[in-house]
Structure 1
């Protein structure tokens, strides 16, 4: 299990080039989504993982609630469809790093399903914002809305550096892998929101479980 926990720290990740925090002009989600198309990969670096969130081996908060286009779902309900990989991300509206990641992981949805895992994106954005982003990008996986950041807090993933402004309540950029029984079997919590695990890393962590 220690090997699984450390995989993300040992293999390289992509560092994306873009702005870091919501600014005055970052109010239109569609405009921001389009802006990510010009982003480039700067360099290959290690993912600066940190010790945050619930530990590997702990039971995930099964009562945590999410909103979707089909209504409210608890994590327990989500897991009825099989083991899950939750990609906690800051915002589909104003975070271009998140937009780039969420678009990128769509390429491995079928690979993860073949391995027995369903992929989900999680952010504090509204269902409407998530649905708009999903439709614009034609995502093949489900976004889970956590307005109020209660699920983010239940996973102990809230980024504490934001105490005022629009970013209050965002999570660390994190990947949490949960088995069918609700146990956390792997995770990656980035200490730098500009750096996210690559698709190859995500597949590698699943293959190592």
Structure 2
């Protein structure tokens, strides 16, 4: 399965127009899929009473495979975004994410959202042309990024909700390949420059929050 680099993830998020209500909802969905490492089924079944945002250690309670619960702590930025989303859509109880008819979002709906922005992001980030990106790719990407940041396997196993650490060990092969790729292609990075022309749409406070989240 393909995963997104930080640069690709940033290009993906930049395609979402957060000035619209649905655009803001889409951004929160993608950001939460990545930040929490949730499966799609876990996201669409997330309920308001699974959000514990009071106190210094905000977290969500996720009901995973086999009805096993796990806790995932979130940073303040994503908590602020989810809280703002709840306010915009008046989500006070029941499922957190709903369609325009106020019914629970489906796996198909999430796939459609991801596909839309993947197609847009390909124009800005050519490496995305060669990748198959699905909602699960954000969970996959988070796992790879955590391992690259030297997160211990048992911690990653708990974060992802894997029943067996052998499942988590699959990511070791991915990160080893990535290390080899980076070491052998250092020279090609010399000419890479960040795009300074990209501009977020929305108020300044929200722009600052979103920029921190995508780092």
Q: Same fold (TM over 0.5)?
A: no
Higher helix share: 2
Q: Under a length normalisation based on structure 2, what TM-score does the superposition of the two structures give?
A: 0.28
- Max Rg structure: 2
Higher strand share: 1
